[in-house]
Amino acid sequence: MRPKNTALNEIARYLTARDIWLDLNVADKRELFDAIGRYLEREHALSHDLVVTSLSRRELAGSTAVGEGVAIPHARVSGLERILVGYARLASPIPFNAPDDEPVSHVLVLLVPSPATDEHLTILAAATRLFSDRRFRDRLEVSADPDAAMQLFSTWSEGS
């Protein structure tokens, strides 16, 4: 049986410091998805258009904002060989059609192979729990660099 807090670290299994973007300057979802697509094309050889289209299509089905300034845009991507996770702390919050009507400043991106296994549901659930913790979000706000943010993702557990 897994310890209760292990699921939170599921995110750290797929996230690397190089896929953490602090103070990303975008004005809206379109610019956010474009920036994510450009980065993933450059660093992970994924098609920019495929990433943007996949994230946008999923967003049309319903907002991926979960409230409290957090969004978890996610999509299945054809041809992707492994799960990719990225985190962006935005320089300024952007509207995201959140259930609490609050703008978003924390974005955890999850791209999964198509067809996806149930593992992406585990990661989504872990992300929702993790980002619902105000202390975690506060610590992310003051993370000075991607390595510090990665350390936080890697070591945080419920009750930290």
**Structural tokens at position 107:** 């974005």
Within 8 A by CB and 6+ apart from 145, the residues are 22
The CA-CA-CA angle for residues 56, 37, 98, to 5°, reads 40
| 48 part of the active site | no
Active-site option among 44, 74, 106, 120: 74
CA atoms in the 13 A half-sphere facing the CB of 14 = 23
Active site residues: 74
